[in-house]
Amino acid sequence: MQLLLALFFLLGIPSGAPDIHSLKHFYTGVSQVPNFPEFVIVGLMDELQVEHYDSNTRRYVPKQDWANRMTEDDPTYWDRYTQIARGTQQWFKGNIEILKQRLNQTGGVHILQLVYGCEWDDETDEVNGFHQFGYDGEDFISLDLKTQTWIPLVPQAVISKEQWDKNKAWLDQQKHYLTQECPEWLKKFLEFGRSSLMRKDLPSVSLLQKTPSSPLTCHATGFYPDRADLFWKKDEEELHEDVVKGEMLPNHDGSFQMSVDLDLSGLKDEDWGRYSCVFHLAGGQEVSKRLDKRDIRTNWKTNDGGFPTGAAAGGVVAALLLLTGCIMGLIVCLKKPPQASETSSSSGEDPAMKKGSSEEQSMLKPLHEGRVQRGSSH
C-alpha cells in the first residue's frame, strides 16, 4: 500500500484542459522494493509517455516514434541523457539514505520522488510551472513560483526550505526554466508529435448488465485522450446518487476505457426513457446513449436456457475489454510510475556528478542544469 501511495502522490498536479498542454517529468527512487527498478524516469507530454529510463535497462529512450526527432538538432541527445540519468540514479540512492537518517528511519520500503514541468495555454499563452518533491507517498516540499520560495508540506521539510530560500540565484534559474525554457521544449514536442497529441477519438458506448438484478453498466471504450468524463443523467441533470464511477483504464492500442454503474433497483419501467449515459471528451464532443432495455447486453440465461438476442457476444466482448483494461492498468502502474526526466540541459552536464563538499552533496537538491536547476545545500 505504501508503494502505491507513493507512486500516485503526484497525480494531483493539474492536468491540461482542452487547450492546455503540459510537459511533466517524474523521477522515482526506491529502497528495498522487490521486483521494482531502483530508479525510474518518465517524461509525459500531454499525459502521453514520450521518454523513459530505468535502472534495469540503464538507457534513456524515446517511447514514441516521433520523439526520435529530438536528435534532428542534437544527435547526442539520447546518449547524453542516458549518462545524466545514470548519475541521477546514484543521487537518488544517496539522498534516500540521508532522508532516512534525518527521519530516524532504519530499514523497510522508502520512496523519493520529484515532479517538475510546465503547462501552456495555447489560447491565452499563459504558462504555469511546478516543481515538487515527495517522500514515502506524501508531498514533501514544493516551489511557489510567485513568491520564489519553497513551501514545506511536512514539518521535516522546514530545514530544506530554510536552506533553499537563501539561494536567490538558483531560485531565479528555476523561474527562468519553468516559465521560459520548459514551454519552449513543450512546443517542440507538440510540433513533433502533433498528429498523436492532437488526436481525438470518440468511444463506442455500450450498456452492460450481468443479471436482471445487477447494476447497469455504461461502458465507453476506444476514446482518446484521457481527458474525458462519463456520467448518467436524468432529465438532463447529472446523477450523483445510485451511481458508481469506475477507474479510467488504458487499452492495448493506446486509447482508453471507463465505465459508470447505475442502480436500477428503484427504477420504474415508465421512467427508463428519462435516463441516459453521456460521454464527454475534452473540447466539448459528446456521445449520449438513452437507457433502453433493447440495447442492454448481458450473458445471463433466459428460462429456456438460451441467451437474450445479441447478449452473449456483447457480454463476452465487454468482459474481455474490462479484463484487458485491468491488465494494462497494472502494467502502467508497474512500468510507468509517476517519475521524471530531463530533456533541456544546454550543457548536458549533470551537477549531481560534479565533485564537491559534503554540503554540496546534501539532500534534496534539484539535479540538472537546464531541466532541473540546482538547489542550495543543507
CATH number reported for the structural domain that contains residue 224 in this entry:
2.60.40.10
What mean pLDDT is predicted for residues 157-184? 93
What mean pLDDT is predicted for residues 38-45? 94
What mean pLDDT is predicted for residues 336-360? 33
| C-alpha to C-alpha distance for 74 and 51, rounded to whole angstroms | 16
**What local confidence, expressed as pLDDT, does residue 266 receive?**
82
What mean pLDDT is predicted for residues 287-316? 64
CA neighbor of 261 nearest in space, from 331, 322, 324? 322
Inside any domain, residue 376 = no
Inside any domain, residue 364 = no
Same domain, 330 and 342: no
Inside any domain, residue 373 = no
Helices (H), 103-214: 158-164, 168-176, 182-192, 194-197
Same domain, 344 and 320: no
Same domain, 53 and 119: yes
**What local confidence, expressed as pLDDT, does residue 19 receive?**
66
Same domain, 141 and 169: yes
Quote the DSSP letter at residue 140: E
Average pLDDT over the chain reads 78
**What local confidence, expressed as pLDDT, does residue 8 receive?**
45
Number of domains in the chain: 2
The CATH number of whichever domain residue 119 belongs to comes to 3.30.500.10
> Residues 263-286: pLDDT tens digits?
998 888 888 889 999 999 977 789
**What local confidence, expressed as pLDDT, does residue 195 receive?**
82
Domain that holds residue 29: 2-196+335-353
CA neighbor of 365 nearest in space, from 374, 356, 355, 353? 374
What mean pLDDT is predicted for residues 225-250? 91
- 50-64, 94-108, 324-338, range with the lowest pLDDT: 324-338
Inside any domain, residue 240 = yes
| C-alpha to C-alpha distance for 286 and 242, rounded to whole angstroms | 22
> Residues 313-345: pLDDT tens digits?
444 444 434 434 443 343 333 333 333 333 333
Same domain, 163 and 60: yes
Same domain, 241 and 284: yes
pTM (two decimals): 0.63
pLDDT band at 123 (very low <50, low <70, confident <90, very high): confident
Residue 37 CB: number of other CB atoms within 10 A?
Answer: 21
